[in-house]
Chains A and B, each alone.
Chain A
Amino acid sequence: MSNEPLGPLAPELDALIAKEREAYPVDPELKSQVFRHVETAVTLALPPGESAGAGPNASGSAAGPAAAGAKGAAAAIGANKIVGVGLAALALGGALGSGITSAVYESKSPKARDVAPAAETPRPIAPMETPARRETAPRPEPALASPSLSTEAKSPTPDAASKARASRSNLKDEREQLDVARAALARGRAEDAIRAAEAHEKKWPRGALREEREVALIQALVRAGRRAEAEQRANRFKKSFPNSMLRSAVEAALDSAH
C-alpha cells in the first residue's frame, strides 16, 4: 500500500455526494413513531425484541454503542437514568440546540493528518443479535391526523386554534394518565397499573394512546398473573392493530409469563 497521504475525493464524486446529501428529508411521521416506540420500550422495560440490539462490544468503549444493547436500555429505565445524566443533560441539550457540536465537528477537515496506511486488517465482527423485524406499516395516529389539526394548519382560525389546543390538552391528559400506569408497572405494582390503565380506557376508549395503553395493560395483567385476561386482550389488540409496531411488545409480554 502506498505511503502517500490520501488525496481529495475526485470532484465528480464529490459533486455526486453533494447532490445525494439533499435526498434525506426527515419524515415527521417516522420520527414520531420512532420516538413513541422508544418511549414505550424504555418505560415499560420492554426492549424492542430480546434479540435486538448490539452484539458484544468489539470497541471496548464504556460509552460506545456495543455495550448499549437492548438489555442496557432496559436497565436504564426512565427517570433514574435520566436523573443520572444531570448536568450532562443540560450541556448536551445546549450543545444540540446551538448547533455548536455540529459546527465544531464539521469544521474538521476530512483530510487532516492523513498519513500512510498500513495493511488492511479486517475488524472481527461480533456475533449478531438479530434485530427484531417489525411491522413496517404506519400505525394509526388518530390525534395527529385529526381533522381539527389539519384544518388549523391550513387556516388558523380562532376556532381551529381552540380545537388544536383542546387536542393537545387531551393528549397531555392521556399521557399523564398512562404515565401513572407505567410508573406503577415500573415499580412492580401490577394491580395499580391495571387500575390506571383501565381508568384511561374508561375515559379515552378510543384515545390517541390506546395502543400504548393496551400494551401497558397486557403487561400489567401478565405480571399480576391474570394470563387469560392478558391473552384475551392481546388477541383483541392484534385484531385491532394488525400492523402495530407495538405488537412485538405484546408478544414479549406474553412470552415473559412462560
Chain B
Amino acid sequence: MSTSASRVETEIQESSPLGPAFSSLFEAEFGYVCRALRRLGVREADLKDVAQELFVAVHGKLAAYDPARPIRPWLFSFAVRYASNYRRLARNREHIQGDDARLGASAHSSIEARDLVLRALESLDFGQRTAIVMHDFEGFAAPEIADTLKIPVNTVYSRIRLGRAGFRKAVEALQNEGGAS
C-alpha cells in the first residue's frame, strides 16, 4: 500500500464508527495479534478470517477492559481462544499438516527461522505451545500466564517445561532432517 493510501486508511479509521479507542488499539496491536495467531497455529491463509473474528470480539469486550492493566496479555487471551477454536476444526488441522510438508528445515533467514519455529511448535499440544509462546517468545512471566489463562501457576510451569523439551526435540529433528536431505 502506498503512503497516501495508508493515510486514507488512517483517515477512515479515525472517522470510524468503531470509535477512537478501538481504532487506536487496532492500529497499535494488529501486528502483535497476527503474530500471536501465527505462533499459535493459524495458517497465513486463514489469518484474515481469524483476525477479524477476534477483533469483532475485542470490540465487543472493550468496555470491560481495565486500562490500568497491560493490553497485550488481554489481547493474547483472545488469540489463545480463537486459535484454539480454529485448530479444533479437522480441516484446519489437515491444512496445517499440509503447510508443514512444504516448509524447509534450515534457518538462514528470518523467514526460514519462522518456518522452522512454526513447524516445531506444531509438534506440541496446544497447551504447551501456548505456554512457551507466551513465556519464551513473548516474555510473559509464569504468574501472568496463569492469570491470563486462568490456570494454576504450577500448570504453567509444567507446560513450559514440557513444551520446551518438545520444542527443542522438534527443532533438532527438523534440522537433522534438513541436513540429511
Residues in chain A within 8 A of chain B (CB atoms): 1-2, 6, 9-10, 13-14, 16-17, 19-26, 28-39, 41-43, 47-49, 52-55, 58-70, 72-76, 78-79, 81-82, 84-85, 88-93, 95-97, 101-102, 104-106, 108-123, 125, 128-134, 136, 143-145, 149-150, 152-154, 164, 167-168, 171-172, 175, 179, 182, 245
Contacts and interface: CB of A to CB of B under 8 A. Distances in A.
B12 interface: yes
A3 to B, nearest CB: 10
Instruction: State the majority secondary structure of interface residues on A.
Output: helix
A101 B82 contact: no
Contacts of B65: 63, 88, 92
A144 B8 contact: yes
Interface string B67-109: 1101111100110111011101100000000000000000101
B162 interface: yes
Given A29-B1, A85-B21, A122-B127, A41 B142 contact: no
Interface residues of B, number: 106
A113 B142 contact: yes
B171 A13 contact: yes
Given A53-B57, A70-B57, A144-B8, A23 B114 contact: yes
B179 interface: no
Nearest to B64: A63
A118 B157 CA distance: 8
B15 A66 contact: no
Given A33-B48, A81-B62, A91-B67, A120 B141 contact: no
Contacts, number: 352
Given A26-B30, A65-B81, A73 B70 contact: no
B152 A118 contact: yes
B124 interface: no
B56 A70 contact: yes
B180 interface: no
Interface string B1-36: 111111111011101111111101111111100110
A139 B168 CA distance: 40
Interface of B: 1-9, 11-13, 15-22, 24-31, 34-35, 38, 45-68, 70-74, 77-78, 80-82, 84-86, 88-89, 107, 109-111, 113-114, 116-117, 127, 135-137, 139-144, 149-162, 164, 167-168, 171
B31 to A, nearest CB: 4
A59 B150 contact: yes
Given A89-B62, A106-B139, A128-B89, 14 more contacts: A9-B164, A17-B136, A26-B30, A35-B9, A35-B26, A35-B30, A48-B52, A105-B72, A109-B141, A117-B161, A118-B152, A119-B158, A120-B159, A133-B46
Contact of A34 (B12, B51, B74, B116): B51
Contacts of A82: 18-22, 62
A31 B153 CA distance: 35
Contact of A16 (B54, B117, B154): B117
A19 B62 contact: no
A86 to B, nearest CB: 9
B57 A88 contact: no
Contact of B113 (A20, A73, A122): A20
Nearest to A103: B70
Contacts of B82: 53-54, 65, 131
